[in-house]
Chains A and B, each alone.
Chain A
Amino acid sequence: MDINSLLTGFQDLNWSLITTASYETLYMVFWPTVIATLLGLPIGILLAITSKGHILENRAFNQTLGSIVNILRSIPFILLLIMLIPLTRKIMGIAISYEAMIVPLSVGSAPFFARLVETAINEIERGVIEASQAMGSNLQQIIFKVLIPESLPGLVAGITVTAVALVGYTAMAGVIGGGGLGDMAYRYGFQRNQTFVMYVCIILLVILVQVIQSIGDWLTKKVNHR
């Protein structure tokens, strides 16, 4: 690609299309991150505290919940998207649009985040939890005043990783009709052979990931007092 074709490429770019696609991608990253956090946090906490030797040990519950999480995580996301079309239609009234993609994107990333939550909570020293028990804390106090605050750096890092993973998922969601930068790159770059558009989209996605990671790292550092 020489300078001239690069210049023509820029001139021919449809910026309003790119702006729309960027907005759609941001939308499909932001809301599923929020929902996956809200869903994954309690699931992850339950996985951690019902495990062996923890404060609410319950083998049957732990294994059942663990299996559900594993099953959801083992389905390739592109297939999960298709499987969840009926559910999406039920919840959102429409199966294919960038807004509707919130459903499969959340369902796909919540179990992933739940495992990250579990790990973050398991990293808390047992002695700290024991001390809070020895002081007479009840379950609710242990969860909200000990487990969550103590694992906060890990949780924030987990949310960051989940958001970055969601950027990748949005491309797949886009391909089956969700829109966004990934979809635009696919349609223009692959189907119409306009590689220039594809590269612009990719660069924007790279920037997005960098921004998410930087914000996440900064926040993680800020809440870390260990």
Chain B
Amino acid sequence: MIEVQNLKKIYSGTGKPVVALDNINLTIAKGEIFGVIGYSGAGKSTLIRCFNMLEIPTSGDIIIDGSNITKLSPTQLREKRREIGMIFQHFNLLSARTVRGNIAYPLEISGMKKDAINNRVNELLELVGLTNQADSYPAQLSGGQKQRVGIARAIANNPKVLLCDEATSALDPKTTLSILELLKDINKRLGLTMILITHEMEVIKNICDRVAVINDGNIAELGPVVQVFSQPKTAIAHEFVKQVTNFEVPESLLQQFSEKYSDNYKLLQLSFLGESTGTPVISDLIKKFNLSITILHGQIDRIQSIPYGTLVITIEGERENLTHALQYLTDNDIRIEVLADGHQ
């Protein structure tokens, strides 16, 4: 559906040239929700704006649905842009038009007849749940409602691709979830391909199929969300995962443990994914290896429909048993991270 080949963007202003995108290669499947995460300045905004040529790449190709959008004439590009919807962090609605007028805009400019526009707008108002606000102006709406208008406007022309540029970053957590639900629903119903950029792992976790972690204009890591969550390979991916599975063992507690258990304890963070979430590992560890266990923190979450758990525990016992215990956990598909080891 979408293919990005050797994409490069260099800003050469008055000062030193800035490399925003170094060398990006991507393939995005039809109907996929593809997330791009990165810190501000990483290049993610530049990347998404290349998909509809709001940003003109320095070199490289972007092929959407068979046509290379970097090689289109201005007229062809305008036509193509009608197949690519976009929603924005700050909504960018027309303040002089009502909700109805805003949603009608893309239909007007594509030359649709008035009656047809009216019907389509009514459909869209219902889809995003704004039928009662149809005649309000954007200034009278909440952030979440504004983004719903943005979404309705973006999909009005039945695009094949929807670009979401930090679409929920200006919204509170509850509204964010409702907007993500709406996007998920639209993705399922209309089967359109979605690319979204964000700095919030929460967003990726909730709706993306795959994620690319972008850093310094390069893709640091790319894979199915579940995989990146359970086994982040790079330090930066790890940092983002931590946003969601946020747990830091207090320093004072670490101190306490090392004094108490001397060299035969370990502090572990266990990650469970999918089936392993249901395994009674703790009681097994106690029974089989004669260990004492303290549970410090536990959390269970979902990445799409797959349960994902984290548990922070200390295990204490014979040195040899500790080693066996780790082996046992690994055999049960549980990912272990040793946060502290009394032996060292």
Interface residues of A (CB under 8 A from B): 125, 127-128, 130-138, 141, 145-146, 149-150, 152, 223, 225-226
Contact, CB under 8 Å: A136 / B92: no
| A interface footprint on B77-111 (CB within 8 Å = 1, 0 otherwise) | 01111101010101011111100000001101110
Contact, CB under 8 Å: B92 / A138: no
Residues of B within 8 A of A132 (CB): 94, 105
Residues of A within 8 A of B215 (CB): none
Contact, CB under 8 Å: A135 / B81: yes
Pick from A130, A134, A145, A225: contact of B108, CB under 8 Å: A145
Q: Which residue of chain A has its CB nearest to the CB of B154?
A: A135
| A interface footprint on B135-158 (CB within 8 Å = 1, 0 otherwise) | 001110000000000000100010
Interface of A is mostly: helix
Q: Complex formed: what's the CA distance from A141 to B82 in Å?
A: 14
Q: Which residue of chain B has its CB nearest to the CB of A138?
A: B78
Residues of B within 8 A of A149 (CB): 94, 96-97
Interface residues of B in 38-86 (CB under 8 A from A): 52, 54, 78-82, 84, 86
Interface residues of B (CB under 8 A from A): 52, 54, 78-82, 84, 86, 88, 90, 92-97, 105-106, 108-110, 137-139, 153, 157
Q: Which residue of chain A has its CB nearest to the CB of B150?
A: A131
Residues of A within 8 A of B78 (CB): 136-138
Contact, CB under 8 Å: A225 / B139: yes
Contact, CB under 8 Å: B96 / A136: no
Q: Complex formed: what's the CA distance from A148 to B90 in Å?
A: 21
Contact, CB under 8 Å: A136 / B137: no
Q: How distant is B139 from chain A, measured CB to nearest CB, in Å? A: 6
Q: How distant is B189 from chain A, measured CB to nearest CB, in Å? A: 21
> Given A130-B54, A132-B105, list of 18 further CB < 8 A pairs?
A125-B92, A127-B88, A128-B94, A131-B86, A133-B81, A134-B54, A135-B153, A136-B78, A136-B79, A136-B81, A136-B109, A136-B110, A145-B108, A145-B109, A146-B94, A149-B96, A225-B138, A226-B139
**25 pairs across A/B with beta carbons < 8 Å?**
A127-B88, A127-B90, A128-B92, A128-B93, A128-B95, A131-B92, A131-B93, A132-B94, A132-B105, A134-B81, A134-B86, A135-B82, A135-B86, A135-B157, A136-B79, A136-B106, A137-B109, A138-B78, A141-B109, A149-B94, A149-B96, A152-B96, A225-B96, A225-B138, A226-B95
Q: Complex formed: what's the CA distance from A128 to B96 in Å?
A: 11
Q: Complex formed: what's the CA distance from A50 to B21 in Å?
A: 28
Residues of B within 8 A of A138 (CB): 78, 109
Residues of A within 8 A of B79 (CB): 136
Q: How distant is A126 from chain B, measured CB to nearest CB, in Å? A: 9
